Amino acid sequence: SGAGRAAKVPIGFDPIPVSQLDQVRVPAGYRAELLYAWGDPVSDGPAYRADGGNSAAEQGLQSGSHHDGMHFFPFVEGKKLSSTHGLMCINHEYTDDGLLHTGGMADWSAEKVAKSQAAHGVSVIEVKEEGGRWQVVRPSAYARRITAQSAITVSGPAAGSAGLKTAQDPHGRLIFGTFNNCAMGHTPWGTYLTCEENFNGYFKTGKNATPDEKRYGINDKTAGYRWHEFDERFDAAKHPNEPHRFGWVVEIDPWNPMQPPVKRTALGRIKHEGATVTLAADGRVVVYMGDDERFEYIYKYVSRGIYQPGDRAANASLLDEGTLYVAKFGEEGKGRWVALEHGKNGLTAENGFADQAQVLIRTRQAADQVGATKMDRPEWIAVHPKSGEVYVSLTNNVKRGTSEVPGLNAANPRADNVFGHIVRWREAPAKGRHDAGSLDFEWDIFLLAGDPQHPEASRRGNIKGDAFGSPDGLWFDAAGRLWIQTDVSTSVLNQSDYARLGNNQMLVADVATGQVKRFLTGPKGCEITGITSTPDGRALFVNIQHPGEPASERSEPAKATAISHWPHSQFPETPAGRPRSGTVVIRREDGGVVGG
């Protein structure tokens, strides 16, 4: 195949209608089962208590809340990758503390902060299909939780630099914790990349935030997690470098439970959505990354060294030595990648960048300096498995084109963009494939999301097939089907512009024809996020995040349970009571490839 568009792929199911039910709905001939919900033990640890009564110490041995990006790592059986036995890494993005504790956020305490911190981070679990059912293997030597208190090392150009040093860590090389782990990536050498997104909301600073704090949204209000009240390092007025230690991509080796995770600073410090890994034509490692906030940028990292299959040690520094680029989308469907390298493109001491560590700690300011293209909230990025064409979801941006902020550009063409869109690009080709190592690309808009029934023409979008808005999760299966997951905010879900689009959902697109079919609808008040499959494509794993979330995120148990009882509402064998985030596995009743 040449460096063209992908060929048409079979999409075999009958699409389903929108839904407002408190259930995961899938097409006829498919079945969804619950695998792993908030509070379930990762190994042979403490059982879930339905009244929120598990302690912080117990939470540290159980599934965190708010499941997000994830990946299935198959065991190798002989020379074959197993499709019935693997390790799963699952992100736990954040907490609704009203649901997390028995008494909600009343009587706020050090123990409640510790439990909230233990419910963030990542789960590593062992999973197996036995007797026709997928289950978590307990006990498992691989099982572990990584939380907002785990010891994590630091590598790359910012490691040990002045900006990362704190009273607790005078060497700037040991950071406690990872949190707000949103989307992810995985490497060809079998490791997991977890991405720190809205880290700013955990820090409180003084009334007069510095320009650097403001650029990352650190203020005196916080997002309401209240960690700073009992854990002083989240008081940024007292510990101004502590926020610099978050906003990174963190590498985890699921196969080596004794190995601490590593923050890879060469990949930049932003509100990292995901870190999608592919290879350049010459074998260099390329990582695509979005910074999910209105008017932020799309990045890619290109390693200096070449990926060496089977040589773990040779691959260990590939994410430390390389170049970070940011995207400029031109008006004529042409684009280019601009290097964020100290001493180049105005990234000099005179402009406030003393060295490469400063360029990386202040990645957003560096991208501002080079005039990158401001996008409508870049979320997941997916690379077509055959053509190498790259797709990014731009979830929405209601500030676009309004009086206070920049106008439209060709890649972000709609004012008050409530429904979002998907942009794609093709890197300049080499060796018959779009080469991820190229610095020039061509781009176009794959689709504008919207509601075809909307009274306002600009909000109808141009989807061929089933309607949706706020695309977020984006993933290609091995055959090249594009899976799209939505994250409509609970403040507008099933209301106003979104009145006809139902609960959050997952759809499949044929990128050759643009045809879109709705595959799954979620329970009430949830987001659909996180997707991975077995190598044979016969089991698909999807996360249901924050079922029952009301418009206000720090919800009370009574409010949330009035909205949703999922998973109990669908799987009555699970305890009644609080709604719980969870991983579901979806299979075809005839055992065929999901989506095919």
Residues that bind ligand FEO in the complex, under the rule CB under 6 A = 93, 182, 197, 273, 292, 379, 472
Q: Quick one: which of 220, 225, 46 has its CA closest to 120?
A: 225
Distances (CA, A) of 192 to 30, 124, 186, 263, 579: 29, 10, 5, 12, 28
528 binding partner (options ligand FEO, Ca ion, none; Cβ < 5 to 8 Å by kind): none
Q: x-or-dash pattern for Ca ion, window 537-576, by CB under 5 A?
A: ----------------------------------------
> Which structure tokens are listed for 392?
């990014």
Distance in Å, CB of 9 to Ca ion, minimum: 25
- Alpha-carbon distance 47 to 7, whole Å? 48
Distance in Å, CB of 527 to ligand FEO, minimum: 8
Q: Which of 527, 549, 553, 556 binds Ca ion (CB under 5 A)?
A: 527
Distance in Å, CB of 467 to ligand FEO, minimum: 21
Q: Is 497 in the site for Ca ion (CB under 5 A)?
A: no
Cα atoms found within 13 Å of the Cα of residue 497, Cβ hemisphere only: 23
DSSP three-state, residue 363? helix
Other C-beta atoms lying within 10 Å of the C-beta of residue 551: 13
- Do residues 276 and 253 touch, judged by C-beta distance below 8 A? no
Distance in Å, CB of 272 to ligand FEO, minimum: 9
Where in 180-239 is the site for Ca ion (CB under 5 A)?
Answer: 182
Nearer to ligand FEO, 503 or 545 (CB): 545
**Count of residues engaged in binding Ca ion, rule: CB under 5 A:** 4
Nearer to ligand FEO, 126 or 292 (CB): 292
Return all residues near 139 (Cβ < 8 A) that are at least 6 apart: 43, 44
Nearer to Ca ion, 213 or 472 (CB): 472
Distance in Å, CB of 492 to Ca ion, minimum: 13
Shortest-Cβ-distance residue relative to Ca ion = 487
With residue 181 as reference, give the H or E element that holds it.
strand 181-186
Nearer to Ca ion, 115 or 272 (CB): 272
Where in 506-525 is the site for Ca ion (CB under 5 A)?
Answer: none
197 binding partner (options Ca ion, ligand FEO, none; Cβ < 5 to 8 Å by kind): ligand FEO
97 binding partner (options ligand FEO, Ca ion, none; Cβ < 5 to 8 Å by kind): none
Distance in Å, CB of 393 to Ca ion, minimum: 9
Distance in Å, CB of 545 to Ca ion, minimum: 5
Q: Which of 291, 472, 477, 497 binds Ca ion (CB under 5 A)?
A: 472
Q: Which of 196, 435, 487, 556 binds Ca ion (CB under 5 A)?
A: 487
Nearer to ligand FEO, 94 or 325 (CB): 94
> Which structure tokens are listed for 142?
């691989």
320 binding partner (options ligand FEO, Ca ion, none; Cβ < 5 to 8 Å by kind): none
Structure letter (DSSP) for residue 48: P
Nearer to ligand FEO, 273 or 477 (CB): 273
Distance in Å, CB of 93 to Ca ion, minimum: 6
213 binding partner (options Ca ion, ligand FEO, none; Cβ < 5 to 8 Å by kind): none
Nearer to ligand FEO, 116 or 181 (CB): 181
Sheet-wide strand order for 527-533? 30-37, 582-588, 540-545, 527-533
Nearer to ligand FEO, 94 or 142 (CB): 94
Nearer to ligand FEO, 40 or 273 (CB): 273
- Do residues 275 and 195 touch, judged by C-beta distance below 8 A? yes
Q: Can you list the alpha helix ranges (DSSP code H) found in 480-576?
A: 557-563
Distance in Å, CB of 274 to ligand FEO, minimum: 9
Contacts 24+ apart (CB under 8 A), 219-228: 223/198, 223/553, 224/553, 224/554, 225/94, 225/95, 225/97, 225/116, 225/201, 226/97, 226/105, 226/108, 226/113, 227/113, 227/116, 227/117, 227/148, 227/202, 228/202, 228/203, 228/204
Nearer to Ca ion, 366 or 422 (CB): 422
DSSP three-state, residue 361? helix
Distance in Å, CB of 68 to ligand FEO, minimum: 6
Structure letter (DSSP) for residue 213: H
Nearer to ligand FEO, 22 or 379 (CB): 379
242 binding partner (options Ca ion, ligand FEO, none; Cβ < 5 to 8 Å by kind): none
Q: x-or-dash pattern for Ca ion, window 336-355, by CB under 5 A?
A: --------------------
Number of H helices, E strands in the chain: 8, 33
Return all residues near 344 (Cβ < 8 A) that are at least 6 apart: none
- Alpha-carbon distance 96 to 336, whole Å? 40
Distance in Å, CB of 195 to ligand FEO, minimum: 9
- Do residues 66 and 92 touch, judged by C-beta distance below 8 A? yes
Distance in Å, CB of 482 to Ca ion, minimum: 16
527 binding partner (options ligand FEO, Ca ion, none; Cβ < 5 to 8 Å by kind): Ca ion
Return all residues near 483 (Cβ < 8 A) that are at least 6 apart: 473, 474, 475, 476, 477, 506, 507, 508, 519, 531, 595
Nearer to Ca ion, 320 or 527 (CB): 527
- Interface residues with Ca ion (CB under 5 A) are 182, 472, 487, 527
